[in-house]
Every structure is written in C-alpha cells, then in structure tokens.
Chain A
Amino acid sequence: MSVRYLAAIVVLGLLATPIATADVPTTQPISQVVKPTLVTLDLDKVAAKDAFAELQKRSKIKVNIVPPDLLARSDTPITLKVKNRPWLEVMLELCDQAGVYPSNYGNNWNITQQGDRRLKARRVIDGPTMIVCHNATTDSEIRFGDAAKTVRTLTLQSMLFTEPGSPVSGISTVTDVVATDDLGRELKPVSTEPAIFSAGYERRDFTIALPLPDADATSIKRVSGKLLAAMLAESAELKIPDLLRKQGDTITFRSATFTVSEVRSVGNWYQVELEVSRGDLPLETFQRLRTNMPPFDPRAENEKQAGIIRVNQVQTRGEDQVLTLTVRPQNIGAPAQPKDEADKPVIDLAWTLPVSYRHVEIPFELTDLPIPR
C-alpha cells in the first residue's frame, strides 16, 4: 500500500482540554466563570484592513475575512477609541464603520460583504456573550365554530453569540422570563423554547412566546430572563486506529464502550455503524451524539481538522444507542473510488467528544420591542 494512501482522520483533533479546574457549583452566572476578552484601541482614520489587523493583534482572536481582500476594498477610514471593552462590542463597531457584516458559525466568526444582517437587530452585549433579538411575530388565530374569539401571541426570536473559543456549547433552557408591555401589564410566557433542559445541545437560538390578551399594547417595554447554557469542562479523544480492520471490535472510552458493527466504503467516504453502551458516561455526552450535529469544535480551529464526521442516524435501544456515521478523510491524492479492498487506505478514527459539562446562567434583558401590527 502506498504511503500516500495513509490517511489519518483526526476529527476535531484537539487534545483533551480541561477548561476549568476550580470546583464550582453546578450552575453559576457566566460572569463568574468566563471572562470576556477586553480590548483597548485608539484608531484615528485608519484603513479598515489595518483596524481589523490591530483588533486581532490586541485580542489574539482571529476572524476569517471572506474574501481575503474584502477589507482592502473598503475606503472608509475608521476612527475608534475604546478602553477595556468586550471583543464582541469592538468587532461589531468596526464592522459597522467598515460597512461589512459579521456572521457566526458555532464558534467561528467570519467577516463578509453580506454576512448575517440579523446581527444589526436588538443586541445586548454582556461580557463574552451577546444576545440578539432579531424577529418579533404576532400570531392571531381564530378557530371556526368557536365564539369568534381571536387568540393572540407574540413570539420573540433571539440568538446567543459568544466570543471565539468560548466554552459555551449551547442553550439548554430558558427560565425566569418576566415581561411587561408598554401599558405596564405583566405578561407570563405561554412557552419558551428550548423548554426542556438538555445540556448536550449546541443550540444557539431561543424563542419566547407571550400572550397578548388585549390588542391595545404597541410594544414590550421589558423582557428579561435567564438562559441556562452548557459549558464544556472536559473533552477526550475516542481513537480507533485502522478502522477498516476493526469490525466487531469493542473500544472502551471512559466507562462507555463503542462497538464497531460495520464499516463500508462509499467512494471517498466511509459509512460506520457504532453501537454505543453508555456506561457511567454523563448524559450530556450521550446527548451530544446526535443526528446532523457538526463536529465539536470548542476552540474554533477548524483548520486543524483532517476530516469530517457526520452522525446520520441515531437509534436508541434502551440505555444504548446505535450511531450510523459518515466519515470523510481529507486524504488528498487518494483515489475517488478505491479499486478493491486491498487498495483501501488505512484510516484512523479520532473523535474528540465532550465528557463533562458544567452549566452557567446567562441573564438577559431586552427593552422596547415593537409588537407588529
């Protein structure tokens, strides 16, 4: 077998990384656990390209500029003087001045010409987190045959953003929501989403549905609450060397076991079925093994990836799960369609999985949100 066919899949190839070491209560305010990256800048009519370069230099946080010459096209000089402000706040201010838009994918931030325009909506930055309320929808429904009574609901759609490298993996639930309309009436939420605590999600969006029993209010004066978010405490690497020859083998990962039931090659891809027995592994880790979940990437270092793993199907059997994975090695030079079994490259599966979380509270308060009419 040629050396060039030797490919190692190092998916999320980060070393097991304890994020926090101190003993902390299960749930605590995020401000006590994660500190924002503070930035001091003094820019006077500098080119956009230089301004972002200065931000990266000061913060040591890299953002992707797409295309790379995007900022060179901006002829707006940037003037900004800030002292010890959160990175998110400074980055957004630079984007506003340069006329470019940021967009966020998991823990990665890109700067593009189009970007995510929702980030221009109502945003509240608090330390390393930002909450953006981007949409308000009023639903009025009447059920025919009923006494012509219209039921009204206001749904607020929001998103949580964090600094690159943040250990916050996603929103588990929304609690303690209190809202008042512009006439001073308190509105108890009809529902919040996500509503059920589930720490393994990487969910960043959330909704709050408020009743509108009267049609006279024109805005929500204040809505506040808390997001409970899962925060990665420790991850570890599941390694299965020479995957193609491991069919039937059982690999121990902490107290869990992964049995390789099947490995099939489909062109450059491999279909792998793993039977997972949870053991004492935290429920969060188990929940993390979900269909269509992106690779776990706590430090936004996608470039370190050597391949891609996608969980295509999860079947639960009592305490156990059966995962069907698609694995794509980035072994440049490998044939698109290996000719036969003997030509298959040796591949090693390396999958960084979160093994423990702690939970943080992210308080939020949004004011003066219009009720659509």
Chain B
Amino acid sequence: MKWPLFIFALTTLAVAQTAQPEAEQFIRDLTATDWAKRQQAEDSLVGAGAPAIDAINAALATSTDFEQRDRLQSALARIGREQLLIATPVTINRRFERPLDAYTALARLVDLPTKCENPDAEARATAAVPVDLDFTDKPWLEALTETVARTNVNIRLDDGKLTLLRVPPAAIRRPTHFAGAISISADNARRRQATDLASGNTTSSLQVRLAAMCEPKIKFRAESMRLMVSKLLDQNGESILGDAQRVVPMQRESGGRYTCTLNFNTAKNAPTAISLIEGDLVGEIITRTIEARVEDLTVLPQTLETPAGTIEISSLVRTGKNWSLAVQISRETNFHQSLANGLATDTRDGLRIVDQFGEPMRVNLTAQSMAQATVDVTFTLSSTNSDAQPAKLLWNIASQSRDIRIPFVLRDLPMPN
C-alpha cells in the first residue's frame, strides 16, 4: 500500500508576519497560575490579530501544556474568525470604459477571476458603457451590489470566479443587511393556496425566501448554515413568531450564495406585510483546510489518514468510456457528514482528478450510501479525451471550522395578497 503525501496549509489564516515580542509574552502568560491572567492573555493574543499567528503556530509546535495548547488553538480560531468576517475594503475612484473592466478591478481585490457566462453576456459586459466607481473603504459586497446597480450587468459568485450574466439584474434594490464579509437579504414571498378537487379541501401556505451572500474567503461547512429567527412582527407591529419556523437551514446555491425558505404554519391570517425580521445567521466557517493527494491512482486501495478522518480510495474501474471511482469516508472523522454532503455539491468540495496528461477530468457523483460507520461514495470520471486515464487525486478537505453568529435585521417586507 502506498501512503499519500499530505500537505498541511493554513488557507485563510496564513498571514506571514514576524512574531511580536508582545505575542510571545501573551503566550507565556497562558501558563500563568492565575486563571484571570491566562484568560486575559488569550484575549490579548486575539487582540493582536494576524501578526500573532506565526508566534502561535511556533508555540503549538513545541508546547506540551494541555491548557496552553487549547488556548493557543482557541486564539488561532478566534483570530481567523474575526479576520474572516471583516469585509474586504474597496477604495476605487475612477471611470471604467466597460462594465467588464469595473468588475475585473473589484474581483481582483478578492483574488477572483471574472468570466462571462456566454457570448451574449460578454457582449453586454464589453459594451462601451462607462462606469464611474467612487468607493472609499466600502465593504466589498456593498461595492459589488452598488456596481451591479450602476452597470446593469448582473453577476453570480461561483466557486473560484465572478461570473457576469446574460440576463440584466431586476431593477430593484432588495432589503439587505450588510455584516462585513456577509450580507443577508430578502428575495421574495409566495402565498400558495391549493384545492384538492376530489375532496374540496383547500390548504394554504406562505413562504419568504431569504438569501446570504459571502465574500469568497468565507466558506461554510456543508449544511452547517442556519437562520435563527428571534423576532418577527407583522404590519401592526404584533409578533407572529409563533406562526413561523424559527430555525431555517440554508442551502448553497452557488459559490458564495446561500438561500433558505422561511415557512409559515398558516396563511389563513397571514400578514399583509412583515415590518421586522430579526435573528442570527449561524454556521461553521472553515478556518483550516488540508490538501490530500494520491499521486498514483493506478495503485489502489489507498488510505488517506487525514486530521479530518480516514478516507479510503477503494477502487477505480473503467466502465465503458468512463471511469468509476469508489471512495469510503470513515465515521470517525469530525467531518464525516460534512464531507459526504459537500461531495454532493457542484464543487465536490474541492475534489480534483487529473489524467495522465495533467488535464482535469469531469467528476460526477453517481452514488452515495450511508452506513452506520461509513459513507460510500462513487464518482464517475469522464473526459473529452477518450485516452484519458485518472492519474492523480487532489482533495482540499476542511479540517477545522469555527462557529459564527451574525445578527441581522430586515425591515418592511410587503407580503402577497
């Protein structure tokens, strides 16, 4: 059996900074006999922010003190979380000759390439329509929303790129709550009344669709994201919280966009408007990933002993012109469920297979079965090149995540009558 090479990399926290003497002092204070001093030292480390990361990692490599290690890891995660949630500031004051140029400048700030959806989208984006952007330290998502309104060219945040769309944006500004690198907005509301013509019974329902948009640096663990509604007022300011779901799971729609539908128990006395929705967006953001590799897929099975758990690449079988790759994820991993769910998404959660020519192959999830101890996943691999044979597997696997909670408020949403 051939053991794979692991490359551990802090993907979002890796900020190369010289360790500061203060940080080293704070780290020493983590072993103080006084609890208050240890707690203050951790808070101070978090306050030092990204420049303290190298010192923390250095201490983690040598420390054998249980509490010190725990606090170092906690501080690392807290720094990462706070850094992540801070919006990328945009300062641009100039005229762009084409919408595409404006979007390219914005996307470059968050290390995203831009891509037009199709030739029609490209024609819209490259039309000689000047765009004036005058942003000073404006949060990136707000700047993006503003640019959509100014260019009349709509966008979609995909995994690894900003896609310019063919269809222009609706001429509307949705109620939106901006919270640093994340925004929460209301899309639409739908009332449905269905009559069963056999029995004559009519059922009613009311749904409000909400969406969250994230900067590319934020990645949520699959299916960890929820909206917790804590306050819901109708047009008269009366609470209708009892009629609605309080915890609503959010689904990933595209790279940085998540949506959910808030269901109301009844629409018989449904509100004509919602004057206030207040709550929290909660979830687990990935603060650390590892890259797992299998350098030679012709030698199987191979077991990846990752910090996230055990993953066995069981078999690779040719089926007609395609290939079938069987993978088993152990239950021991903290990310067992998340990995399995993530594989069902469009991105396959960072899984890449390249052929013997170094070209990426198309990966489709064709089967998934859940057992008590394992999840079995089968992928179909295909390529336009009929000679292509899977050669290497590269998998960015989430290995650490932290809870976040972002309060939000949306006001004055009319309901359909």
A residues lining the B interface (CB < 8 Å): 117-122, 133-146, 148, 150, 152, 215, 261-262, 273, 275, 313, 315, 317, 322, 324, 369-370, 372-373
Q: A135-B194, A150-B416, A369-B197 are in contact. Are A142 and B321 (CB under 8 A)?
A: no
Q: A146-B170, A273-B319, A317-B321 are in contact. Are A141 and B416 (CB under 8 A)?
A: yes
A144→B273 CA distance, assembly (Å): 11
Which residue on chain A has the smallest CB distance to residue B197?
Answer: A121
Contacts of A261 in B (CB 8 A): 319-320
Q: A139-B190, A143-B188, A273-B320 are in contact. Are A121 and B415 (CB under 8 A)?
A: no
Contact of B197 among A133, A139, A140, A313 (CB under 8 A): A133
Contacts of A144 in B (CB 8 A): 172, 174-175, 185-189, 413-414
Contacts of B321 in A (CB 8 A): 317, 322
Contact A137 B195 (CB under 8 A): yes
Contact A137 B172 (CB under 8 A): no
Contact B320 A140 (CB under 8 A): no
B179-222 to A contact mask, C-beta < 8 Å, 1/0: 00000011111111111111100100000000000000000000
Contact A136 B197 (CB under 8 A): yes
Contacts of B191 in A (CB 8 A): 139-141
B417 within 8 A of A: yes
Contacts of A139 in B (CB 8 A): 190-192
Q: A137-B192, A143-B170, A372-B194 are in contact. Are A117 and B199 (CB under 8 A)?
A: yes
Q: A146-B170, A317-B321, A372-B202 are in contact. Are A140 and B194 (CB under 8 A)?
A: no
Contact A145 B197 (CB under 8 A): no
Contact of B198 among A121, A215, A317 (CB under 8 A): A121
Contact of B175 among A140, A142, A145 (CB under 8 A): A145
B173 within 8 A of A: yes
Contacts of A121 in B (CB 8 A): 196-198
Shortest Cβ distance from residue B225 to the other chain A in the assembled complex, whole angstroms:
21
A262→B320 CA distance, assembly (Å): 7
Contacts of B416 in A (CB 8 A): 140-142, 150, 152
Shortest Cβ distance from residue B154 to the other chain A in the assembled complex, whole angstroms:
14
Contact of B195 among A136, A143, A148, A322 (CB under 8 A): A136
Contact A142 B197 (CB under 8 A): no
Contacts of B186 in A (CB 8 A): 144
A223→B188 CA distance, assembly (Å): 30
Contact B195 A372 (CB under 8 A): yes
Shortest Cβ distance from residue A105 to the other chain B in the assembled complex, whole angstroms:
18
Shortest Cβ distance from residue B195 to the other chain A in the assembled complex, whole angstroms:
4
Which of B188, B192, B197, B416 has the most chain A CB atoms closer than 10 A to its own CB? B197
A313→B185 CA distance, assembly (Å): 39
B366 within 8 A of A: yes
List 15 extra interface pairs beyond A144-B172, A144-B189, CB under 8 A.
A120-B199, A134-B196, A134-B197, A134-B198, A136-B194, A136-B197, A137-B192, A137-B194, A139-B191, A142-B414, A144-B174, A144-B188, A145-B170, A146-B172, A322-B321
Contacts of B195 in A (CB 8 A): 135-137, 370, 372
Contacts of A317 in B (CB 8 A): 321
Can you list 27 pairs linking A and B with CB atoms under 8 Å apart?
A: A118-B196, A121-B196, A121-B198, A134-B197, A135-B194, A138-B194, A139-B190, A140-B190, A140-B416, A140-B417, A141-B188, A142-B415, A143-B187, A144-B187, A144-B188, A145-B172, A145-B173, A150-B417, A152-B416, A262-B319, A273-B319, A324-B319, A370-B197, A372-B195, A372-B202, A373-B193, A373-B202
Q: A148-B414, A150-B416 are in contact. Are A122 and B197 (CB under 8 A)?
A: yes
Shortest Cβ distance from residue B93 to the other chain A in the assembled complex, whole angstroms:
28
Shortest Cβ distance from residue A181 to the other chain B in the assembled complex, whole angstroms:
15
Contacts of B322 in A (CB 8 A): 315
Shortest Cβ distance from residue A370 to the other chain B in the assembled complex, whole angstroms:
6
Which residue on chain A has the smallest CB distance to residue B412?
Answer: A144
B387-413 to A contact mask, C-beta < 8 Å, 1/0: 000000000000000000000000001
A148→B196 CA distance, assembly (Å): 30
A140→B185 CA distance, assembly (Å): 20
Contacts of A370 in B (CB 8 A): 195, 197
Shortest Cβ distance from residue B355 to the other chain A in the assembled complex, whole angstroms:
18
A148→B366 CA distance, assembly (Å): 43
Shortest Cβ distance from residue B167 to the other chain A in the assembled complex, whole angstroms:
14
A138→B193 CA distance, assembly (Å): 5
A154→B174 CA distance, assembly (Å): 26
Contact A141 B189 (CB under 8 A): yes
Which residue on chain A has the smallest CB distance to residue B267?
Answer: A140
Contact A138 B192 (CB under 8 A): yes
Instruction: Name the interface residues of B202-246: CB closer than 8 Å to any CB of A.
Output: 202
Contact A117 B198 (CB under 8 A): yes
A372→B416 CA distance, assembly (Å): 15
Shortest Cβ distance from residue B296 to the other chain A in the assembled complex, whole angstroms:
25
Contacts of A143 in B (CB 8 A): 170, 172, 187-188
A152→B193 CA distance, assembly (Å): 11
A133→B195 CA distance, assembly (Å): 11
Which residue on chain A has the smallest CB distance to residue B185?
Answer: A144
Contacts of B197 in A (CB 8 A): 121-122, 133-136, 369-370
Shortest Cβ distance from residue B214 to the other chain A in the assembled complex, whole angstroms:
20
Contacts of A273 in B (CB 8 A): 319-320
Shortest Cβ distance from residue A222 to the other chain B in the assembled complex, whole angstroms:
15
A122→B197 CA distance, assembly (Å): 7
Which residue on chain A has the smallest CB distance to residue B206?
Answer: A140
Which residue on chain B has the smallest CB distance to residue A215?
Answer: B417
Contacts of B189 in A (CB 8 A): 141-142, 144
Shortest Cβ distance from residue A32 to the other chain B in the assembled complex, whole angstroms:
30
B133-174 to A contact mask, C-beta < 8 Å, 1/0: 000000000000000000000000000000000000010111
A373→B199 CA distance, assembly (Å): 16
A19→B320 CA distance, assembly (Å): 36
Contact A322 B320 (CB under 8 A): yes
Contact of B366 among A152, A313, A373 (CB under 8 A): A313
Ranked nearest first, the 7 interchain pairs of A and B with the lowest CB-CB distance are A145-B172, A140-B416, A121-B197, A372-B193, A121-B198, A120-B198, A137-B194
Shortest Cβ distance from residue B39 to the other chain A in the assembled complex, whole angstroms:
44
Which residue on chain A has the smallest CB distance to residue B210?
Answer: A144
Contacts of A145 in B (CB 8 A): 170, 172-175
Contacts of A136 in B (CB 8 A): 194-195, 197
A275→B190 CA distance, assembly (Å): 45
Contacts of A324 in B (CB 8 A): 319
Which residue on chain B has the smallest CB distance to residue A142?
Answer: B416
A145→B149 CA distance, assembly (Å): 13
Which of B170, B320, B321, B415 has the most chain A CB atoms closer than 10 A to its own CB? B320
Contacts of B198 in A (CB 8 A): 117-121, 134
A137→B174 CA distance, assembly (Å): 27
Which residue on chain B has the smallest CB distance to residue A370?
Answer: B195
B61-102 to A contact mask, C-beta < 8 Å, 1/0: 000000000000000000000000000000000000000000
Which residue on chain A has the smallest CB distance to residue B189?
Answer: A142
Instruction: Name the interface residues of B310-331: CB closer than 8 Å to any CB of A.
Output: 319-322
